[in-house]
Amino acid sequence: MVLTFSGTVLFYIVTVIQFWISNYLKDVLHIEDKEIFISFVITCVTSPTLGIIIGGWIVQKAGGYESKHSIMFVFIFSLISTAIGIFITQFNDLLSFSIMLWLFLFFGGGLVPNLVGKLILKQKYIT
pLDDT digits (tens, 9 = 90+) for 18-74: 788 888 888 988 989 899 899 988 998 899 899 999 988 988 888 887 777 788 888
Q: What is the mean pLDDT of residues 82-90?
A: 87
Alpha carbons within 13 angstroms on the beta-carbon side of residue 39 total 21
Q: Number of structural domains, the chain?
A: 1
Q: Please state the pTM of the whole predicted model.
A: 0.82
Separation of alpha carbons 91 and 97, rounded Å: 5
Q: Which domain holds residue 37?
A: 2-126
Helix residue ranges per DSSP H, the chain: 2-27, 33-61, 70-87, 94-126
